[in-house]
Amino acid sequence: ETLFTPFKIGKMEVKNRLVMSPMGTNSAFTNGRKDAQEIDYFIERAKGGVGMIIMGCQPLNEEIAQGSMEGYM
C-alpha cells in the first residue's frame, strides 16, 4: 500500500515509491548525445508507472564523452 503513495524530495513530488536505479545502456553517441532508442527505452519505463528514473552517468561535453578527462581533474 505504501509503495504506491507519493513522496517528496525537496519541492519535487514523486507519484510513487517505485524507483528505477541507474544503469548503462551503452547507446549514447561519442559526443554524449542519447540516441532515439535509449530515449524510447526510458519513455517506456515511465509509461510503465515508475515514479522516478535515475539516469546513468552522462558526459558533460564531447571531450569527456570520448574519454579525455585531462584538465577536469
Q: Is residue 41 a part of any domain in this protein?
A: yes
* pLDDT band with cut points at 50, 70 and 90 for residue 64: low
In a domain, 51, yes or no: yes
Q: Classify residue 71: in a domain, yes or no.
A: no
Supply the pLDDT for residue 71: 58
Farthest-apart Cα atoms in the chain, separation: 49
The total number of structural domains in the chain stands at: 1
70 inside domain: no
Structural domain of 50:
2-65
pLDDT of residue 50: 92
What does the pLDDT look like over 5-36, one tens digit per residue? 999 999 999 999 999 988 766 666 766 677 78
Q: Give the 3-state secondary structure of residue 43.
A: helix
Q: What is the pTM of this model?
A: 0.62
